[in-house]
Amino acid sequence: MFERLYVMLMKEFIELKRDRWAIFRLVVPLVLQVVIYGYAATFTVNHVATAVLDLDRSQASRNLISHFAAAGRFDIVDRTDDERRITHDIDTDQATVAVLIHPGFEQDLNNGRSAALEVVVDGTNSNTALIAAGYVSQIVAQFEAENSTDDRRPDTQVAPRTVTVSLQERPWFNESLDDRWFFIPGVIGTLTLMQVMSLTAFAIVREREVGTLEQVMVSPIRPFEFILGKTLPFFLIGLGDIALVATIGVLWFRVPFVGSPWIMLLGACLFLLAALGLGLLLSAFSRTQQQAFALNFFLLNPLFILSGFAFPISAMPKVLQWLTIINPLRYFLVVIRAVFLKGAGIDVLWPDFAAMAILGTGMLTLSVMRFRKSLD
């Protein structure tokens, strides 16, 4: 058995070596992608283009505007006293936020009436808008607090409006709330899945289309050995991928790796098992390379979107949440993030390990069965 397997493995590696694009396809895009996506994937909102309309032109209004400028989150791109300019700025995407201070702002502020402040947010990108709106409220609250400490309240009998309750925020595991730490482990899982799955998807179909599958059939090799020989090289490539990409994440992007490498390795092996199973299943169910390619293409997108990579699974409708149960990437993302950021161990992660193992063995068995049928 081992001899046959060895021969099979040699054949696969020779085939890989003959393909002059192989190394280029396997390594260069992977590294490039990690670096580019590592930088691209962020929901942080830092430079919000802001237009300011100041019709009050008072000390208070200027003070408020300087609060916005000083916060560091808002870049004031336009100061104007023409309301149409504001509309134009937002329509043409030159500004995302507009602060409108109407006449009488300072007067109201000093006379104990609440002063109206209008803020317009372009809601096209709801996420940016939501976060920017949060910053606006924070700045306004801070401005209010500073104003109330001014000694312009002559009447000390007034209720202390400063029933302040301060919030001590303590984000765990990621104290600076840097979302790159969240996405880079995700990029690692996604890229590995893409590469391994598409390589495997072509594995058997190619033999069939090129016509060498018949030669395999007349050889004494068993279906199980054939599949093993086909997948082992991809398994090794996948492990190499994960190691390479994780190294870039730790050394280049400085994502902390607090967990144990052994748990990561175990998770990676189980994940690769599932990814190979998925690829083989595609391969077993397609007749031409084109079909395998199309299926691969169409599966990768949902696998990626429904993995919790960027869109939280908890926000999906229940039906979709159930569908994610058969998505191996979903489990691997949990594992890889937990190992990287939380240093979690088997005691917490065992359900994810079990899920990947079940999915992997299930799909591999199914494709071996299907393949055996096509051999007979």
Partner 1 sequence: MNGRRLFAIAYKETLQVCRDPRSLAIALLMPLLQMALLGYGVSLDIKNVSLCVYDQENSQTSRDLTSRFVASGWFEAVHALDSDRAIRQAIDRGTCIGALVIPVTFTKSMSSAGKANIQTIFDGTDANTTNIATGYAKGVIAEALTDFKNRWAQAHGLQPDAIGQIDLQLRVWFNAGLESRNFIIPGVVAVILAAVGAQLTSLTISREWERGTMEQLISTPVTAFEVMLGKLVPYFVIALIDAAFCLLVTIFWFQVPFRGSVTTLVMTTALFAVVVLGIGYLLSVRIRSQLGASQIALILTMLPTTMLSGYTFPIDQMPAPVRAVTFLVYARYYVSILRSIFLKGSSLADLAGPLLGLVIFATVIAYLAAIAFRKRLD
Cβ(331)–Cβ(352) below 8 Å: yes
Nearest approach in angstroms of CB 162 to partner 1 is: 6
Cβ closer to partner 1: 94 or 365?
94
Task: State which residue, 230 or 337, has the beta carbon closest to partner 1.
Answer: 337
Choice between 8 and 45, CB closer to partner 1: 45
Least distance CB 353 / partner 1 (angstroms): 15
Q: How far is the CB of 11 from partner 1 (least distance, A)?
A: 16
- Amino acid identity at 36: I
Looking at the Cβ atoms of 186 and 223, the one nearer to partner 1 is 186
Of 197, 109, 218, 95, which is closest to residue 153 (Cα–Cα)? 109
Among residues 272 and 338, whose Cβ is nearest to partner 1? 338
Residue 99, judged by CB atoms within 10 A of its CB (0-12, 13-18, 19+), counts as: buried
Closest by CA to 31, choosing from 199, 240, 200, 309, is 240
Q: Which is nearer to partner 1, 62 or 222 (CB)?
A: 62
Smallest distance, partner 1 to C-beta of residue 356, A:
17
Q: With respect to partner 1, which residue has the nearer C-beta, 49 or 364?
A: 49
Q: Do 311 and 204 touch, CB atoms closer than 8 A?
A: no
Residue 276 neighbours by CB under 8 Å, 6+ apart: 196, 200, 231, 234, 235, 238, 360, 364
Per-residue DSSP letters for 258-305?
-S-HHHHHHHHHHHHHHHHHHHHHHHHH-SSHHHHHHHHHHHHHHHHH
Closest approach, Cβ 154 to partner 1, in A, equals 10
Smallest gap from Cβ 221 to partner 1, in A, equals: 22
Q: State how beta strands 48-54 and 74-80 pair.
A: parallel
Shortest gap between Cβ of 327 and partner 1 (angstroms)?
A: 11
Pick the closest to residue 247 from 44, 31, 27, 88 (CA basis). Answer: 31
- Nearer to partner 1 (CB atom), residue 1 or residue 83: 83
Helix (H) or strand (E) holding 348: helix 346-375
Taking residue 20's Cβ as centre, other Cβ atoms within 10 Å add up to 8
Residue 367 CB, nearest approach to partner 1 (Å): 18
